[in-house]
A and B are shown apart, each in its own frame.
Chain A
Amino acid sequence: MSVLKKKRHVSKKNKKDWRKHCDIKDVEDFLEDQRLEERLGKFDAKPDSELFVVDTEGADRVEDVKTEIAISVKPRSAKERKRQNIQEIPKCYEILLPTSKVQDPNAKRNILNPVGFKPTALSKITEKRRAQKGILEKKVEIARKNRKIALSKKKKLKQIRNTFDTDLWGATIPEAKGIPSSLCDEFVPPEAQLHNVLPERRLRPKPPPPKTVVTRAAVDVPHPGISYNPSFKEHQELLQDVVQHEQKMMKRQAHLRRVTTGMFKKVTQQEKENQWQEEMSVGLSKPHNPAQDSDPETDNEYKAVNPPVRNKKKDHKARRKQKEMLQEKERLKRLKVEKKKITDLYKLRQLQSSISKSELRQTEERLKREAKRSEASISALPALNAHKVPRKEPDFVDPQQLTGDLRKTTSTGNLLRDRYESLQRRGALAAAKLMMKKKKRVKSYFKAGHKVTDQDVERFLTRRKATK
């Protein structure tokens, strides 16, 4: 009983419902066909030779041919067969082979290294043996050679830096100034030439260096007294310089001591303790001392240390009196000022002269100060930093050192430090306080079980004796 199924009405409102109740079989079939075609190739496109075979022999001859071939071909040995089988892909893996004719879109997916790529344990050993013999792979040898060449090239390049082979100041031709050669023509105006100079070759204005750097001599004129064989007078002068310098320093030291440590009073330990006790017991009631009980007549009446203050109001009279007093004071003050004004009128000339005198004195002093300051600024040490530049100290030559013999001269002082300080004094370097890196303090200790004490040693010795 085949009854035509009644078409049921279903809702296809949502995507889900749409999918559920839509018949897409024909589409899927088509796609399946297409995929199959892709895989196996299109049926129409295939040549006939691939689709059809021309049967030239009868059905019965087929077996004969097989036997004939078997006869004509030399029978293989078992070993050969095995080898051939190795080359063939084993049956079990055939399933892993792609059946599809579609090319792998990601060709790089599986790179299989050929056999012998990875060194085996055996090959490693042989390689090592060869390397010991000095036989190297050609690849390695070439690489080595190339590396050597590259290194020598690099070295040469570095040394070129130390071969000075250009006359920096010789060429005043415009090309040396970075002007491109195409513009080196007398018809090209200099503005245009300079405009085309590359930015990195352009000479840029730079403010002049500080005055101290330019004017101060790099190598000071030596004091004649530091000669290895000085005349007596010059050496004495040098010593005098040193003495004066030292005295100045001592004076300064003394001053500093006076204004710092000397400012504080020295107190003995006992005094310090007493002071402490006194300070700490301020406000505390003192212990009862019967000797100090000087008021025997007070009759044990209570008396507060700080009696209560009463807010006593002033009466009218007192207020008036106070007011009057203030007014009187004010009046007198004014009177005095008025009086002074009148007397000052007569003092005008005197005032004027005193003012002019003081102004004169001030200008004089100012001039003096300026002169002094300008004089000091000529040799002043530059303040470029919070640190101070060390002042130049006169060279001291010990009279004992002077032998008057070139062979026996011993040098004093440190030339490098002189240079360093001279740079600082000229303002080419900011003064600095050299901070040394602190060494890390490493605490050494024995691991608990590894400590060897005297007892251990003794025990070891006794045991050793016992075994002997």
Chain B
Amino acid sequence: MVSKKKKKYTSGEGVQFMTRKAALKKLQLSLKDFRRICILKGIYPREPRNRKRAQKGAGGIKTLYHTKDIKFLLHEPILWKLRELKVYQQKIRRARAMKEYPKMRKYLRDYPDINIDHIVKERYPTFVDALRDLDDCLTLCFLFSTFPSLKRVPRDQSVLCRRLTVEFMHAIIAAKALRKVFVSVKGYYYQVELEGQTITWIVPHHFSFQPQSKDEVDFKIMSTFVEFYTMMLGFVNFKLYHSLNLVYPPMLTATFSSDDKELVDEQAYVAERIAAMNISIARLAGANDIEELPEMDLFQAEGEDPQKLEEAKQEAEKVKKLKTMFKGLKFYINREVPREPLVFIIRCFGGEVSWDKDHFVGATFDESDESIAYHIVDRPSMEKQYLSRYYVQPQWVFDSVNARTLLPINKYLMGAVLPPHLSPFVDKTRDQVYKPPEERELNDPDFKPLNRDDSGSDIEEASDEDEEENEEESDPDIDPEKALTKQYQEEVDEDSPSEDDDNNDSDSEKKQLAKEKKKAMAVTTGVPHKEHPYQKEIEDKQAFRLREKLVQKKYQKLYKSMKAGQEKRKKEIWLLRKKRRLHDEKLKAEKKAEKKQQKLQAFQEATA
């Protein structure tokens, strides 16, 4: 008997995938509802390995879904809700068509909601999973919180976003979790660390709402995303508050409830929001401050780099210092400075903030308060200045956070030309790049061209810096190697004379030898073994070379090219540093000459 012929596309990729149309038919949904439920449930279209087979031989590019995904959707209880809603929508449509407006309004008012909180749990089984996916959520929520009511976006969505984002910021303040800030032309980039997860998001600059052109973004889809994200952010907030021993929901100002009918102007809205951020929220009764994380334990595991461990420890210490950077400091924000980011940042690190109480609500202390340490100004000059405080530009706050210490304020004083605001998000591993001394100083607070700040005259400053530079350059790159080789040479020399002696001398001196042997046999007082640090380094180096030899043959080329690249980059850095040094020296010399000339002139004038 001939076995039955197998039909095409009845196994493998042919049945693994499903076109969107087939999925719609299977789920008995309209395209609109299907889109919505896919976004809510986190089901994405797929890209097959072999498109022709996945499309069962059909040409073109069709939107394909995993068949298992669709089967998974089939069990979703929301599906029934959506079908019920369809009937409801038909009723509304009918009422509209029949011009029965009161009826229509009633239907719209009583439009049933879909509860989706079980989906949050389903998509993120653990809290850490949810945190990992918070980037997109936060960016979208912060963005939507600035929107007015739009045509395809539910009215209460932006209000809800506003509430949730402020709550989240409060949680961050309480957890002191902020790590990095970057002010870009797009907006503020923030990075926080929660439960070991780094979360980055963008907050748009606060300008008046920019009209969105309709043909760029599908608002309906984005609003569905936001619908899910608000749900998720709400539960994340709840969990965060509880882990921080805070009361949820926090008592903030009244602007965040959606039933507010009164029309408030945008400025007032923003002012309220910022004021809400300046309130410290209620803790659970009987709860202490957040328990400090215990000191990091250092286990030297087998084969782990001790240097890395040391680095990790240093990092932890730095973070600890960062958390209380502004503690006990009072900040006053002047009128023209964008308050929202600054309030958030300063409060995150334990500072106290206030602002002009005549213009905005929520000020906690007055401008005339003598205990204010920093006054943040963004204008070239001020008429009335207090002696007891520093007048700094807002960038000082951002740069200090990124540097993880309070930076010296002299470069950020009022009216000063600011140093560039560098991104903290650059890859630290790519360190084989030339960095001008200014940048190094910004990134690494320990690096200091010492006399830059405290020297009186520019010339002296320059010269000192140069010297520093020279030292800096010569130290890390050239010196250790030279020293090593020198050391090695010395040691070799030390060893060699004795051997040479042995070879050269003849048998006649055997007696002497015997004597020496005898001497050697005598018991002498013990000397503690002294480990030679250089010797060890040399040994390490030799071991390293041996290990290099063990690199597999197929990787040898790669390794070599890598090494060559490193060498090349090192050379480039050296060259650029040298150039810089020469340039600085030249400048210094010119300045010196100029000053000398000035002095001479002054002298001549005086004498004449």
**A interface residues with partner B (beta carbon < 8 Å):** 151, 154-155, 158-159, 161-170, 199-200, 202-207, 209-210, 212-213, 217-219, 221-224, 226-234, 382-386, 395, 397, 401, 404-407, 409-420, 422-423, 427-430, 432, 434, 436
Provide the residues of chain A in CB contact with B317, threshold 8 Å. none
Interchain CB contact under 8 A, B420 and A231: yes
Please give me the residue from chain B that is nearest to A228 by CB atom.
B183
Please give me the residue from chain A that is nearest to B142 by CB atom.
A415
Interchain CB contact under 8 A, B422 and A222: no
Name the one of B140, B187, B235, B427 contacting A168, with C-beta atoms under 8 angstroms. B235
Interchain CB contact under 8 A, B182 and A222: yes
Interface residue ranges of B407-455 to A (CB < 8 Å) = 417-418, 420-423, 425-427, 436, 439
Provide the residues of chain B in CB contact with A409, threshold 8 Å. 183, 185, 205
Provide the residues of chain A in CB contact with B337, threshold 8 Å. 406-407
Please give me the residue from chain B that is nearest to A432 by CB atom.
B218
A/B interface sample: 30 pairs, CB < 8 A:
A158-B113, A161-B113, A164-B234, A164-B237, A165-B248, A167-B238, A203-B122, A207-B69, A209-B42, A217-B135, A218-B133, A218-B136, A222-B425, A224-B426, A227-B420, A228-B184, A230-B421, A231-B422, A231-B439, A384-B47, A384-B63, A406-B183, A406-B395, A409-B205, A411-B205, A416-B217, A419-B222, A423-B225, A427-B44, A427-B47
Stretch at the interface among B208-216, B322-330, B483-491, B599-607: B208-216
Provide the residues of chain A in CB contact with B248, threshold 8 Å. 164-165
Complex CA–CA separation, A226 to B63 (angstroms): 36
Provide the residues of chain A in CB contact with B63, threshold 8 Å. 384-385, 430
Given contacts A169-B126, A384-B45, A411-B205, contact A219 B420 (CB under 8 A): no
Name the one of B126, B127, B189, B417 contacting A404, with C-beta atoms under 8 angstroms. B417
Is residue B172 within 8 Å, beta carbon to beta carbon, of the partner chain? no
Complex CA–CA separation, A417 to B210 (angstroms): 12
Interchain CB contact under 8 A, A226 and B44: no
Name the one of B72, B117, B186 contacting A413, with C-beta atoms under 8 angstroms. B186
Complex CA–CA separation, A106 to B200 (angstroms): 77
Complex CA–CA separation, A406 to B427 (angstroms): 25
Please give me the residue from chain A that is nearest to B146 by CB atom.
A415
Name the one of B45, B182, B187 contacting A430, with C-beta atoms under 8 angstroms. B45
Is residue B271 within 8 Å, beta carbon to beta carbon, of the partner chain? no
Provide the residues of chain A in CB contact with B61, threshold 8 Å. 383-386
Complex CA–CA separation, A234 to B258 (angstroms): 44
Interface residue ranges of B193-208 to A (CB < 8 Å) = 200-202, 204-205, 207
Interchain CB contact under 8 A, B47 and A213: no
Provide the residues of chain B in CB contact with A209, threshold 8 Å. 42, 44
Interchain CB contact under 8 A, A415 and B143: yes
Q: Which of A386, A413, A420 gathers most chain B CB within 10 Å?
A: A420
Interchain CB contact under 8 A, A226 and B184: yes
Complex CA–CA separation, A223 to B336 (angstroms): 28
Interchain CB contact under 8 A, B127 and A169: yes
Is residue B15 within 8 Å, beta carbon to beta carbon, of the partner chain? no
Is residue B221 within 8 Å, beta carbon to beta carbon, of the partner chain? yes
Is residue B68 within 8 Å, beta carbon to beta carbon, of the partner chain? yes
Provide the residues of chain B in CB contact with A430, threshold 8 Å. 45, 63
Interchain CB contact under 8 A, A199 and B75: yes
Provide the residues of chain B in CB contact with A213, threshold 8 Å. 44
Please give me the residue from chain B that is nearest to A388 by CB atom.
B61
Provide the residues of chain B in CB contact with A427, threshold 8 Å. 44-45, 47
Report A376 CB to chain B, min CB distance, Å: 14
0/1 string, B279-312, CB within 8 A of A gives 1: 0000000000000000000000000000000000
Interchain CB contact under 8 A, B72 and A229: no
Interchain CB contact under 8 A, A219 and B126: no
Please give me the residue from chain A that is nearest to B427 by CB atom.
A221
Q: Which of B62, B143, B184, B214 gathers most chain A CB within 10 Å?
A: B184
Given contacts A222-B182, A427-B45, A430-B63, contact A229 B425 (CB under 8 A): no
Report B152 CB to chain A, min CB distance, Å: 12
Report B285 CB to chain A, min CB distance, Å: 18
Complex CA–CA separation, A465 to B584 (angstroms): 93
Complex CA–CA separation, A170 to B336 (angstroms): 44
Name the one of B126, B212, B395 contacting A414, with C-beta atoms under 8 angstroms. B212
Interface residue ranges of B239-262 to A (CB < 8 Å) = 239, 242, 248-249, 258-259
Complex CA–CA separation, A155 to B205 (angstroms): 34
Interchain CB contact under 8 A, A229 and B135: no
Interchain CB contact under 8 A, B160 and A162: yes
Interchain CB contact under 8 A, A227 and B186: no
Looking at chain A's contact residues, is the secondary structure mostly helix, strand, loop, or mixed? loop
Name the one of B44, B189, B225 contacting A222, with C-beta atoms under 8 angstroms. B189
Complex CA–CA separation, A429 to B45 (angstroms): 7
Complex CA–CA separation, A434 to B207 (angstroms): 27
Name the one of B204, B259, B420, B436 contacting A415, with C-beta atoms under 8 angstroms. B204
Complex CA–CA separation, A423 to B222 (angstroms): 10
Provide the residues of chain B in CB contact with A405, threshold 8 Å. 378
Interchain CB contact under 8 A, A169 and B121: yes
Interchain CB contact under 8 A, B202 and A219: yes
Please give me the residue from chain A that is nearest to B167 by CB atom.
A164
Is residue B505 within 8 Å, beta carbon to beta carbon, of the partner chain? no
Please give me the residue from chain B that is nearest to A395 by CB atom.
B186
Complex CA–CA separation, A423 to B228 (angstroms): 15
Report B402 CB to chain A, min CB distance, Å: 11
Complex CA–CA separation, A419 to B235 (angstroms): 23
Report B568 CB to chain A, min CB distance, Å: 20
Complex CA–CA separation, A217 to B199 (angstroms): 11
Is residue B52 within 8 Å, beta carbon to beta carbon, of the partner chain? no
Report B305 CB to chain A, min CB distance, Å: 26
Is residue B110 within 8 Å, beta carbon to beta carbon, of the partner chain? yes
Please give me the residue from chain A that is nearest to B68 by CB atom.
A207
Interchain CB contact under 8 A, A227 and B422: yes
Interchain CB contact under 8 A, A167 and B45: no
Interface residue ranges of B27-53 to A (CB < 8 Å) = 42-47
Please give me the residue from chain B that is nearest to A428 by CB atom.
B44
* Beyond A230-B421, A395-B186, A411-B186, 17 extra complex contacts between A and B, CB < 8 Å: A162-B156, A164-B235, A168-B121, A169-B235, A199-B75, A210-B46, A218-B135, A224-B422, A228-B184, A233-B436, A384-B47, A384-B61, A407-B338, A407-B378, A414-B217, A416-B216, A430-B45
Name the one of A167, A221, A411 contacting B185, with C-beta atoms under 8 angstroms. A411
Complex CA–CA separation, A380 to B596 (angstroms): 63
Complex CA–CA separation, A230 to B259 (angstroms): 44
Provide the residues of chain B in CB contact with A169, threshold 8 Å. 121, 124, 126-127, 130, 235, 239
Provide the residues of chain A in CB contact with B476, threshold 8 Å. none
Interchain CB contact under 8 A, A221 and B126: no
Please give me the residue from chain A that is nearest to B210 by CB atom.
A414
List the 10 shortest-distance A-B pairs measured between CB atoms, nearest first. A224-B423, A231-B420, A164-B234, A218-B135, A218-B136, A169-B127, A229-B421, A384-B45, A226-B184, A200-B77
Provide the residues of chain A in CB contact with B66, threshold 8 Å. 207
Interchain CB contact under 8 A, B221 and A429: yes
Report B549 CB to chain A, min CB distance, Å: 27
Report A401 CB to chain B, min CB distance, Å: 7
Provide the residues of chain B in CB contact with A166, threshold 8 Å. 117, 235, 238
Provide the residues of chain A in CB contact with B235, threshold 8 Å. 164, 166-169
0/1 string, B158-185, CB within 8 A of A gives 1: 0010010000000000000000001111
Interchain CB contact under 8 A, B216 and A414: yes
Report A174 CB to chain B, min CB distance, Å: 14
0/1 string, B129-158, CB within 8 A of A gives 1: 010010110011001000000000000100
Complex CA–CA separation, A125 to B258 (angstroms): 42
Complex CA–CA separation, A434 to B212 (angstroms): 14
Interchain CB contact under 8 A, B69 and A226: no
Interchain CB contact under 8 A, A159 and B258: yes
Is residue B528 within 8 Å, beta carbon to beta carbon, of the partner chain? no
Report A176 CB to chain B, min CB distance, Å: 8
Provide the residues of chain A in CB contact with B421, threshold 8 Å. 227-230
Interchain CB contact under 8 A, B202 and A415: yes
Given contacts A210-B47, A430-B45, A430-B63, contact A420 B222 (CB under 8 A): yes
Report A408 CB to chain B, min CB distance, Å: 9
Provide the residues of chain B in CB contact with A154, threshold 8 Å. 110
